[in-house]
Structure 1
Amino acid sequence: MALIDDLKNAQKDAMRAKDKVKLGTIRMALAAIKQKEIDEQISLTDDAVLAILTKMVKQRADAAAQYDQAGRDDLASTERAEIVVIESFLPQPLSDDELSELIEDAMTSTGATGMQDMGKVMGYLKPKVQGRTDMGALSGKIKARLNA
């Protein structure tokens, strides 16, 4: 529960600092976490919280792109500011070299040889890279490696 505690402490700090963007973003994150806990009647682990935060970053990136296309720079900049706040709670992203090394390790461990083993490799890697890389990009890299 350390990640939830970090969010709650950051919320208090944002209140003290009167940082409205950070406070609003953290409140949204805590509300999403609480909603998931209530819906599923469980206490979320740090991995589950990371998945929620990752999903929030992706949603905001998609929204910012749509606002850019619509010419609404004010709304796009708000979404990007929220992304910065949420990403501050996520672990450091993996470099391309680290990702390639993890893919090789996953292929060796699962015995993957072709595209039929894509699910095995993704299942092996997902808990290790959650919140540290874009899963769509990871999928593309795995496909390229399995087709090579």
Structure 2
Amino acid sequence: MSALKDRLRSDLVTSIKARDELRSSTIRMVLSAITNAEVAGKEARELTDDDVIGVLSTEAKKRREAATAFADAGRTELSEKETAEAAVIADYLPEQLGEAEIAELVTAAIAQTGAAGEGMRAMGKVMGVVSPQVKGRADGGVVAAEVRRQLG
């Protein structure tokens, strides 16, 4: 049983009672995505907190990408809605890592894998070590950019 999923459910009830339309609709969408993840595949299963964080990260990324796309298209009202939804989802994600922390993790992973002299060919090896450490705490694109920068 996921404590995070329980927290989302109780927060949904609270937000409905408070008539917080944005928060309640966003939490409903997230809970729906969690349910879809639970029933996907051959057999239904209960998600762990780590699995729920993975779903939340994916949903937050979708909102950020949609907000950017809407902003680029000049649809500011839709962009603001997506940004607000991403902020609600971010409340349930672990504390996000800063650039310095990501750089430290990447440097350690390069040292651990011995990838220092291999250049870009070692990118997959380094990402394989860093990705589990930053799951839900950093955007994969930002991490990949730092790995590229350090591998040069």
TM-score under structure 1 length normalisation: 0.91
AA at the equivalent of 2:122: D
Residue matched to 2:150? 145
Distance 2:121 2:84 in 1: 40
Distance 1:110 1:44 in 2: 31
Greater per-residue helix proportion: 1
Distance 1:100 1:119 in 2: 16
SS at match of 1:89: coil
Residue matched to 1:105? 108
Distance 2:3 2:131 in 1: 21
AA at the equivalent of 2:81: T
SS at match of 1:81: helix
Offset of 1:70 from its aligned partner?
A: 2.6
- 1:49 correspondence with 2:48: no
Residue matched to 2:37? 36
Residue matched to 1:22? 23
Residue matched to 2:83? 80
Kindly report which structure 2 residues correspond to 1:106-121, keeping only aligned pairs within 5 A, or say none.
106-113=109-116, 114=118, 115-121=120-126
Distance 1:26 1:70 in 2: 26
Distance 2:86 2:107 in 1: 30
Distance 1:79 1:99 in 2: 26
Distance 1:2 1:120 in 2: 33
SS at match of 1:62: helix
- 1:3 correspondence with 2:8: no
* Alignment: residue pair count: 147
Offset of 1:3 from its aligned partner?
A: 1.5
- Work out the percentage of aligned pairs sharing the same amino acid: 39
SS at match of 1:65: helix
AA at the equivalent of 2:30: A
Unaligned runs of 5+ in 1: none
TM-score under structure 2 length normalisation: 0.89
Per-residue deviation, residues 49-90 of structure 1 (Å, max 9, x unmatched): 112111111111121122223322221111111011001111
CA RMSD of aligned residues (A): 1.4
